[in-house]
Amino acid sequence: MAATSSPTSRRLPSLAKYEVLEELGHGGMATVYRAHDKRLSRDVAVKVIHPHLRDSKEVQSRFFVEAKAVAKLRHPNIVEVFDVSGEDEGEQYLVVELLRGQTLRKLLRENGAVPPEVSAALGLELLSALGHAHAAGVVHRDVKPENVILEHHAHLGAATTSAMATTSVPSTRPPASGETPGDRVVVKLTDFGIAKLLDAQGVTSTGQVLGSPAHMAPEQIEGGEVDARADVFGMGVLLYECMVGHLPFEGNNPAQVLRRVLDGTYACAERERPEIGKAYSAILDRALARQADDRYPSTGELREALAVELRRVGVTSPRAELEAWFDDPAAFALAHKKRMIARMCELGSAERREGKVLAAAADYNRALAYAPDDAQLLRIVTGMHRAEARARLVKKLLPAIFGALALGVVAFFVTRALKSFPVDAPSLDAGAITLVRPEPSALPVARLDPTAAPSGSAPLLVAPLAPTVRLLAVPSAIAPTRRTITIAKIRPVAGVLVAVDGDPATEAASGKSITVDGKPHVLVFSCIEDLCDPQTRNIGAGDGDEAVEMDLKIKPAKLTIAGDPTRSYVIKEKPILSVNAGGTTDVPMTRKSETFHVRQLGTHEREVEVTLTAGQASRAVFGEEP
């Protein structure tokens, strides 16, 4: 049957086994509807793929492979898949359980930042779901608050397990009989619609950028290899937004956001909101590392890091913590503040007794963030900061002190050794040591020295047997310092040049070594044919070998759509880009030249193939309507 959705006035799709009731929302790949399962008499959610994607054989292939893989996932924190359309049906759709809670995005809009311990407890639930999916070969690739559904039940019992509350209802009652603290909150991760399957055979890679710019890992934006560590990055973004109250990577447009993700520039979480503390901030920094190798290697290790910190601050039941916050956020925040001040002071005091100055200062700092007007805390933190500064100073000076002591010892023994050498000793190298003989007028004269004679004897005449020799231990030829600069990693992997101190550029590749002296040097990296903007790396003076990494960004291509400005246009290979007729769009490139397909949407859909070149402008021309 066909029906009309009042908010959008769009015709609802007609499905044989399901009665489509209303539209719930839409994303980059599909529109989600509430529908009624005619056979099992239950409401479900139906995710119908967009028409302009339905004709793509690759999208079809990915859709069905994904559906089969996600349908195998059985986890309490993953939305269950019930059914998938047949390949001969007019619509392509996925049928999943209908959730009646709210998205994490809506919750963040209404409440702002979430207490760090509540955010971490939420993270444990989602990371458990991702770990299960990764074990089955599924990478989500689009972890964000919009894809997290939260259900909160004021009363949990046999009569209400199927009737879910739609909003959080405060409750201070003790758990009912048979109810475990934390059971009244359900956390579900949904929309594996753009998941990349690690074991998907027969599905080709087009280098598409799929996902939300602010939540995508750098390697995903660049069209590189994506694995479970991309979801670690996505969880880092989600946790940062929950704890801080805003995204780590923000900008005025998607291009700015993408650039900041690729540059890895964001404000430290602890600096943005001191109540978060150094421990959580450090966890977020590792999850958000620019290079995948620098992140937690798996969601399990990120989950364990959060669990360890929760236990350290006294949270023994994360699910109960999550539930208590849902019951009454305002009351929870007040109680949580008092609890954290007491716990952080307790931890800081214990660490001070153990001589852990830096750790104690970090915990006292977090306590002070909750109670900035506490005079006693302020005195403790001020004293700890002085101690921390002294510790840093000592740590900085220790190498110099030990170095000076070592040089003193060496100088003492060298001096003794040199004094024992005769002037004309054959072992002395005339090229290494300069002999300086005094002028005759400066020669010592013979003298009587009573102390040089045996007791009771007459004084002896003491005189040097030879002129005094002053040894200047200054080598006349010192071998210059030689050190190696190794290019540990470079992107792109080919077509990159490096010039040292203005010398002619040579090919740069991962593993290449450059031998230089101990002076400062300047390395300039560039691409052949001016495909990327040059970048400079300064190497300081020293005698140690160094390793450098360089990530050059290939210049985007400029695409202009010549067509009807009232129509919508999309690049099939890069569906997240916004393209409009008459304007110029920067299209990210992974190599010098790539072919894309621009589709004009609407009643008469048309498609134009265009080859784009990095750093150059091209046009996709659409003629008159057929």
Pairwise CA distance, residues 239 & 248, whole Å:
10
pLDDT greater at residue 432 or residue 316: 316
**pLDDT tens for each residue of 368-399:** 899 888 888 777 777 666 655 666 666 666 67
- Cα Dmax for the chain: 134
What are the residue ranges spanned by the domains of the chain?
A: 1-98, 102-191+207-313, 328-420, 482-551, 557-621
What is the amino acid identity at position 207? G
- Determine the pLDDT at residue 189: 94
Asked if 71 contacts 63 with a C-beta cutoff of 8 angstroms, the reply is: no
The answer, yes or no, to whether residue 108 has pLDDT greater than 90, is yes
Mean residue pLDDT of the chain comes to: 78
- Pairing state between β 93-97 and 42-49: antiparallel
Pairwise CA distance, residues 24 & 45, whole Å:
9
- Determine the pLDDT at residue 395: 66
CA dihedral 207, 210, 213, 218 (to 10 degrees): -40
Pick the CATH number of 328-420 from 3.40.50, 1.25.40, 1.10.3210, 2.130.10: 1.25.40
Catalytic-labelled residue, pool 37, 43, 142, 328:
142
- Determine the pLDDT at residue 46: 92
Query: How many CA within 13 A on the CB side of residue 386?
Result: 5
Structure tokens at 303: 């989950």
The answer, yes or no, to whether residue 202 has pLDDT greater than 80, is no
Asked if 260 contacts 230 with a C-beta cutoff of 8 angstroms, the reply is: no
SS3 519: coil
83 in catalytic set: no
- Asked, as a colleague might, if the bond just before 492 is cis with ω within 30 of 0, I would say yes
**Most confident residue range from 248-252, 332-336, 536-540, 593-597:** 332-336
Q: What architecture is domain 102-191+207-313?
A: Orthogonal Bundle (1.10)
List phi, psi (to 5°) of 18: -135, 140
pLDDT greater at residue 107 or residue 465: 107
Pairwise CA distance, residues 150 & 162, whole Å:
15
- Determine the pLDDT at residue 624: 61
Task: List all residues 6 or more positions away from 197 whose beta carbon is below 8 Å from its beta carbon.
Answer: 65, 66, 69, 137, 138, 139, 203
pLDDT greater at residue 97 or residue 58: 97
pLDDT band at 211 (very low <50, low <70, confident <90, very high): low
**pLDDT tens for each residue of 536-567:** 888 888 878 888 888 888 888 899 988 887 77
Residues in the chain: 626
What is the CATH topology of the domain spanning 1-98? Phosphorylase Kinase; domain 1 (3.30.200)
Supply the pTM of this predicted model: 0.60
The answer, yes or no, to whether residue 162 has pLDDT greater than 50, is no
List phi, psi (to 5°) of 588: -60, 140
What's 579's DSSP letter?
B
Percent of the chain with pLDDT over 90: 29
**pLDDT tens for each residue of 171-185:** 334 454 455 666 889
- Determine the pLDDT at residue 197: 35
Helix, strand, coil share of the chain (percent; to 5): 35, 25, 40
- Determine the pLDDT at residue 418: 59
Structure tokens at 69: 């893989």
Residue with tokens 């007794």: 353
Q: What architecture is domain 482-551?
A: Sandwich (2.60)
**pLDDT tens for each residue of 13-65:** 888 889 999 998 877 677 889 999 988 989 999 988 887 777 767 667 767 77
The answer, yes or no, to whether residue 460 has pLDDT greater than 80, is no
